[in-house]
Amino acid sequence: MPKFTVEERLDQSLKRSKANVFLRKDFDKLGGYDQVGRALREATKKGKLVKAGYGVYVKARESSISGKPVPVISLVEVGLQALEKLGVKADVGSSARAYRDGTSTQVPMAAVVSVGKARVSRRLGFGNKTIRYEKT
């Protein structure tokens, strides 16, 4: 029976997983803290993952425009899924909700996530785009 490296086990775990957003602690079972950190860095270098914030990683695909890795889901979805994994109840922002419900025809441009009364200070984003938080 062949022994797999932490990197190979991480690759297999990413292929099998239906989730798109991962926290670093999701990979703790694969090996030691430093080993997992090196494997995650290598996966981001290879373009399999994109780092979206402190300890938050997203599955990546190659951009059709630049050829660089980009998240497989939208920035708002990254925010919603990451906050859910962190235990914060979140929804799309009020402008996106109004557009979704048909009460507004204006397409929201900013990535805004409504966090209710929760206090969130974590920066989530990719490249020069970041998520803004809205309290309700």
pLDDT of residue 41: 96
Residue-level pLDDT at 136: 83
pLDDT of residue 116: 92
Which among 9, 11, 98 is positioned nearest to 49, based on CA atoms?
11
Q: Directed axis angle between helix 6-16 and helix 33-46, to 10°?
A: 60
Q: pLDDT tens string for the chain (136 positions)?
A: 578 899 999 999 999 999 999 999 999 999 999 999 999 999 999 999 999 999 999 999 999 999 999 999 999 999 999 999 999 999 999 999 999 999 999 999 999 999 999 999 999 999 899 999 999 8
Q: How far apart are CA 24 and CA 6, in angstroms?
A: 14
Residues in CB range of 34: below 8 A, 6 or more apart: none
Cβ 78 vs Cβ 50: under 8 Å = no
Domain ranges of the chain: 1-73, 89-136
What per-residue confidence (pLDDT) applies to 1? 57
Model-level pTM? 0.90
pLDDT for 2 equals 74
Domain 1-73 has CATH 2.60.40: no
- For residue 3, the model assigns a pLDDT of 84
**Element at 37 (helix H, strand E):** helix 33-46
